Structure 1
């Protein structure tokens, strides 16, 4: 389940036209002030464990409400947050379940109708914590067998369907997702071109993980450029004197200049952030590369607080990593679908 949460002065909507999926409604127009608006999108994967999705969403939302000191919520169905929509029946059930579970916590809840075209107006408060994206995983707290290399969702082998008629499953438990038994994995490039943006080299894990990402992108055919301030670039160069892992490097100021002048472009941008300066770098890249996939790796002593500062579209990898890179490396591999 995907949720875009906005702390708002007010939210207003009015239904305009029904679809064939429209639920019966009595209220055609509604308004709520001093509230948190939840733009909610139920995904196909949520059908595996809808009760867990509702419970996890409730916990995440109530924690956010407590932090913002807000007791009013408007749930707004919004199908445009994913490319893998769940069934209408499951989606409506989960949205109603979230509505009821929040109401049971003494929260004032209103829900915009499902399956209707609506016009709406929202006035966000615009403070650093006003906007927040959430991803609710139906497998949270359990072990999964694979990560989908296309959508990066966790996958259990028991949930997969055979694709070879008459041959049963094409996978064994000791095989990698996407590999036929007895063969080596074939991994497609994550992107044809990529830009890697490490921040100031103050936190030890960044150097190792930057080389790890560079190595894995390049060996899968991605044309990669690494950009940063002179200090971080020199540190990486000293760590890789024979240039086994590092590709082209360019000072960040020059790189931004080329991006502004449209002399440089990329399909994927990865930014390291262990301070608010790193978040600013990521925001700059989002502005200069609006059509590119942007991944922000947030780490250090208080990564959750940093992640809360992000108010622009991106994918986030968050871990409290300072000296030990192993857990963050695992999360990075899962996002990219790398088998290493």
Structure 2
């Protein structure tokens, strides 16, 4: 027989007793249902509390692999900032372009302008008309990248005329040519005004020529001839900085334009930056389709040149071209001449 305590007087009685022999209560060994329910609810609340606390701890837990990924992202951002702030040399510009392209692909909503430094050879100008070329066309980022690549072409040519960077120069030229350009405007109207500008330029009316070429440039922002003529007019007018900006913009449209490189060489020569002038003239020879004609033009200009710094720059590049380019050009012409003579003989 099992024993239990009376639920009322707590004295020891049989579990089978119907009444307590001490206090007389019925069913003294049975716990009432209310106490059972209360005990169950208490246990349920304890379990629920344990579950909630455990769940918050799990939600706040971060696996070591995820934490490492976040640290790597922070490290990449820091590295890009260090490149932008510390790299200023010409070799760093190439590395910077790669970094910009990589980061732009990861964060497409971030403008390239936010991380691309201003090129040292291109100055900001008060001529807002020139800057509108990129603003209205919506190509600000691509235009700045193209300008940076033009500067890189100039930097490469500073070293022995760029002979050791021929492939890199050609690659940069191709990249600029493949980049987005301003939409074509009213080309016919722009060329009509451009013709009037050329007449004014020939007559020595440089101020009038600038006015006309600026008007033509507004009519068609994509016309490289117009903006190159505008840069040349600025140069003749004496506004060297405006000339540099306009001619550089022309090279972002056509990086192999010989006249633009020759005009930019004149700009640097006027500024007294002889080495940069020589580099520009070297690129003019490099991309010229008729180097012998260009050579005669350069020699003729130099015979009449009054600016000694510009004269010095042309003299250097004339000698450089005769050694590195013109011998091969002359040989090619001689071979072509012999070939035509043989063809005529056969006839």
Higher relative contact order (CA 8 A, sep 6+): 1
TM-score by length of 2: 0.28
The answer to which structure has the higher strand fraction is 1
Which structure has the larger Rg? 2
The answer to which structure has the higher helix fraction is 2
TM-score by length of 1: 0.28
